[in-house]
Structure 1
Amino acid sequence: MCSNVKRPGSILLSISVICLILNFYWPTRAQNVEPPSQKGKTATSIENKSNTESPSDLSAKRIPAEPKKIDQVGEKVGHQIDDFSQKASSRIGAWINSKAFYGITWLKLVLSFLLLFAVLSIERIVRHIIDRRSRIIEEKKELKPIRYLILQSLAKPLSFFIWVYGIYLVLTPLFLHFRKPDGTNLVHTVAQQAADLGAAVALVWFIFKLVSIVDFELKKWAASTDSAIDDVLAPLAGRTLRVFIVIIGAILIIQNLTGVKLGALLASLGIGGIAVALAAKDSIANFFGTLTILFDKPFQLGDRILIDKYDGVVEDVGFRSTRIRTLTGHLVTIPNEKAVSSGVENIAKRPHIRWLTNITITYDTPADKVEKAVSIIKEILDNHEGMHPDFPPRVYFNGFNDWSLNIMVIVWYHPANYWDMQEWLQRTCLGILRRFNDEGIGFAFPSRTLYLANDDDRQLKLKMLQGETVTYIPEGGRSE
């Protein structure tokens, strides 16, 4: 409740300060009106002066516009401040008319600070209104995103614009003290050029942020289509428009400040000259790589790809590079020229996932047990989940390893859903393990058996392998 009471009070205080300062800073409209008798003289003098001045002088005086009128207004403001200072000195003290520096009195400094506070108040009020309206739209979830985007685009550039011209207006009465005897005022000229530059930057900034509306509409259109290429073209169009706005804005600002016409110069260079001047060899190669990605479509947004040693999901395709999110969560940026020139393995486009494994059993497993092991695996994989009729499972006893008998298993899982296949693999492997345990079939693991030359067990094994009959006599016993 207290905050609601203080807010109108601060607004009224700011408005009162603004009105008070404007009363002493700027003359009334009546004072700016020239007598009819002088209008003709003024027009004649201006016309004569324009005839004598050279084109270079005119271009140099484009900014600031009509400096003499600004100086005349400043002189009238100075006279009003002097009149006010005489009245104020009788009440406050003579110190208020004393000069601080460059002939500027303390009264002008105090009024400048008060006006600066008024500018700050205006900027805060405007920003508060915009932010409050934006929050209302966001909280109510109104279906008016364009209005919300316009407010968001306007907030910061408008604040910057108010600050630029507000500070310029605050300092205007002080510029009179920097005028040289010949009538030139470098400080005033530079300040007005800076204000004009700030206003132009604010305008370009606002238009630049308005591109978010174009982005919103393009993304909404891309989402309504089935073509994946539209999802790539939508952000690229927004970026292209932003670059175009920045370039055109910079050209117009430079042309306005310097008076040099850059349009004819850029047009004379030609499209090829601009491309060579603004882009290096790698940039051009990356741009054509972008066109290749867009039209040849080796991959699209959301595809899992493998480029060189990077395995991840495509998150963004820009003019210069492609960004992929690796399986470890890292964001990798790859130039588009490299993406199209090197081999790209599009994992997302695979029709199935192949599972190749080798099941090893011990060497002492009899042949019938080996056949049983193969039949168990075939039985479990028969008509398995994800089996395609054209890709039945393949199970073969295909070799003798150093330490095991090898059974090769190849399975193709459709569709290529990695996590669904992992669930199926877990059930399948558990089924094979249980059936092998029930049949007494042992799994082999890497091992090595060493026989010593004088080992009795070694001689016994050799005789058994040669087919001789061996009678085993236990120690302390007799044969039967």
Structure 2
Amino acid sequence: MNLSEFMNTEIVAGNTLWRITGLFGLLLVGFTAGKLLKFILSRRAEQLREPRPIIAATLGAIGRAAPFLAFALGLAAGTSLLVLNGASELVGTCVAIVVTLAISWTAICLVDAPKAWMTQRAGQTESKLDDMLAPIVSKSLIATIVVLTVVQIAQILSGKEITSILAGLGIGGLAFALAAQDTIKNLFGSMVLLADRPFEVGDRIVVDSTDGTVETVGMRSTRVRTLTGHLVTIPNGELANKSIENVTKRPHIRRIFNITITYDTPPAKVAEAKAILEEIMKDHEGMDPEFPPRVFFNEFQNSALNLFCIYWYHPALWWDYLALTERINMQILERFNEAGIDFAFPTQTVHLAGDPSRPLEVGVKGS
């Protein structure tokens, strides 16, 4: 038996050896070519990651998709060599689904290219809105690709026109919308947050009892890292309807405090204490001329004379503000001690009968 006769030997269902060999050969060639392309593109993407991030992301995406796509193309070419007889429709449907999945996977991988472009643009601007948009846009593109893939597979399996499928999906979509109304609510909530921009990624916000830094804003929820280190996930639908305090956007930090001195302090010493406080807080490092410090002798308390003090620190840098606060407190303590001005604390005074400095009339009046 020569080689031609050997290769034309029937193996199964009318398929000769050369047809079977061609199928597996094309599958092997496609898979090997895909793996080789992935290796080459991945190496090149690593080299271009710093100077050309967008090109690197595109090459890396193509590299990830190459094995599956090459395998699907090899399968489509290989099955065309077979004698399928009555199974041609079934095999054709399966091959069409595999090719559709491979193309969809390629499109999903290529979403990394616009994501890299948006990330690069976000790094060139001061606004952090782009940081919020990049993940949302990429997830939206992936969701769109998945929906189109499902519609395409449904068309392949049913053999109906896409308009009929879309009409059926419309009825099913209504039922799905009722079942997934919370998810839809969160999706619209994310759109409201992007439109109103009450905060950006990296801002410190306070929502109800949650106080922390915004880490990510997704399509469904926003993740906040609290000051204690815990990660809190807040649905966007709820977040859009809540009062949000953006601590990062405050223009300054205001401090209000009271200095209490004893009741036996002479008026001259009270005036001196007020002057000392004004001098200590005057022209401090975080002062804005439009917000000068203020000191007032404003109240006679139960056990003390009260000096009301207020100052503002610009900009709102928390640790710098605390350092200034510590210096002011130390200076107040030192200057009051030097001046002999006593700080007050809650006390009670008991007046005794017979005290010549505070005479009391104790007795019963006669009739």
- Give the structure-2-normalised TM-score: 0.76
Three-state SS of the structure 2 residue aligned to 1:342 is: coil
Distance 1:445 1:265, change over 3 A: same
* Alpha-carbon spacing, 1:140–1:229, altered in 2? closer, same or farther (3 Å): closer
Q: Which residue of 1 aligns with 2:239?
A: 339
Aligned to 1:291: 191
SS at 2:311 equivalent: strand
Deviation at 1:208, TM superposition (A): 0.6
Partner of 1:395: 295
Distance in 2 separating the partners of 1:442 and 1:261? 91
Deviations 1:329-350 (A, max 9, x none): 3232222232222212222222
SS in 2 for 1:302: coil
Specify which of 132, 157, 164 is matched with residue 257 of structure 1.
157
What do residues 205-245 of structure 1 show as CA deviations (whole Å, max 9, x unaligned)? 11111011011223334444566544433433222211111
- In 2, Cα distance between equivalents of 1:370 and 1:310: 43
Letter in 1 for 2:275: S
Q: What is the DSSP-based 3-state SS (H/G/I as helix, E as strand, rest coil) of the residue aligned with 1:348?
A: coil
Q: Deviations over 1:407-457 (max 9, x none)?
A: 2211112222222222222222221121112112233445x5597xxxxxx
- Could you give the per-residue CA deviations for residues 373-401 of structure 1, whole angstroms, max 9, x where no partner exists? 22110111122222222322121233344
Contact 1:365–1:441 (8 Å) recurs in 2: yes
Q: What residue in structure 2 maps to residue 412 of structure 1?
A: 312
* Cα distance in structure 1, aligned partners of 2:296 and 2:176: 65
Which residue of 198, 214, 217 corresponds with 2:114? 214
1:130 aligned partner: 38
Which of 465, 471, 477 is matched with 2:358 structurally?
Answer: 465
* Aligned-residue offset at 1:159: 3.3
- Would you say the 8 A contact 2:155–2:165 is kept in 1? no
Larger-gyration structure (1/2) = 1
Q: Secondary structure at the match of 2:202?
A: coil
Within the candidate set 249, 263, 266, 2:166 is matched to 266
Which letter maps to 2:223? R
- Whether the 8 Å CA contact 1:161–1:198 is kept in 2: the answer is no
**What is the number of equivalent residue pairs in this alignment?**
354
CA pair 147-370 structure 1, distance change in 2 beyond 3 A: same
Q: What's the CA shift string for 1:57-92, capped at 9, x where partnerless?
A: xxxxxxxxxxxxx943x3x229999xxxxxxxxxxx
Match of 1:150 in 2: 58
1:355 Cα offset (Å):
0.5
Inter-CA distance 200–71: structure 2 relative to 1 (3 Å threshold) = farther
Structure ranking higher on relative contact order (CA contacts 8 Å, 6+ apart)? 2
Inter-CA distance 136–277: structure 2 relative to 1 (3 Å threshold): closer
Report the 3-state secondary structure (helix = DSSP H, G, I; strand = E; otherwise coil) of the residue aligned with 1:396. strand
Secondary structure at the aligned position of 1:411 is classed as: strand
**Pair 461,405 (structure 1): closer, same or farther in 2 beyond 3 Å:** farther
C-alpha deviation, 1:143, in angstroms: 2.7
Select the residue among 114, 124, 132 that pairs with 1:232. 132
Q: Which residue of 2 aligns with 1:427?
A: 327
Q: Which residue of 1 aligns with 2:365?
A: none
Query: Where does structure 2 lack aligned partners over 5 or more consecutive residues?
Result: 362-367
Give the AA of the match of 1:426: E
Contact map agreement 2:295 2:307 (CA 8 A) in 1 = yes
| Cα contact 2:96–2:156 (8 A) shared by 1 | no
Cα offset for 1:190? 6.9
Please point out which of 283, 287, 298 is paired with 1:383.
283
Judge which range, 416-425 or 142-151, deviates more: 142-151
Percent identity between matched residues is 37
Q: Which moved more, 1:258-267 or 1:352-361?
A: 258-267
Letter paired with 2:62? L
Match of 2:253 in 1: 353
Structure showing the higher helix proportion among its residues: 1
* SS in structure 2 of the partner of residue 385 of structure 1: coil
CA distance 1:290–1:384, shift in 2 (3 Å): same
Question: How far, CA to CA, are the matches of 1:311 and 1:80 in structure 2?
Answer: 66
Output one character per residue of 1:118-165: Cα deviation in whole Å (capped at 9) or x when no partner.
95x985785365345423542465633344223432344433456778
Which ranges of structure 1 fall in alignment gaps of 5 or more residues?
1-22, 33-69, 82-114, 452-457, 469-480
TM-score when scaled to structure 1? 0.60
Q: C-alpha distance in 2, partners of 1:371/1:80?
A: 105
Q: Which amino acid aligns with 1:437?
A: N
What is the rounded CA distance, in whole Å, between the counterparts of 2:287 and 2:194 in structure 1? 34
SS in structure 1 at match of 2:224? strand
> In the alignment, which of 304, 307, 329 is matched to residue 207 of structure 2?
307
* Distance in 2 separating the partners of 1:319 and 1:380: 51
Mapped contact 1:395–1:410 kept (Cα < 8 A): yes
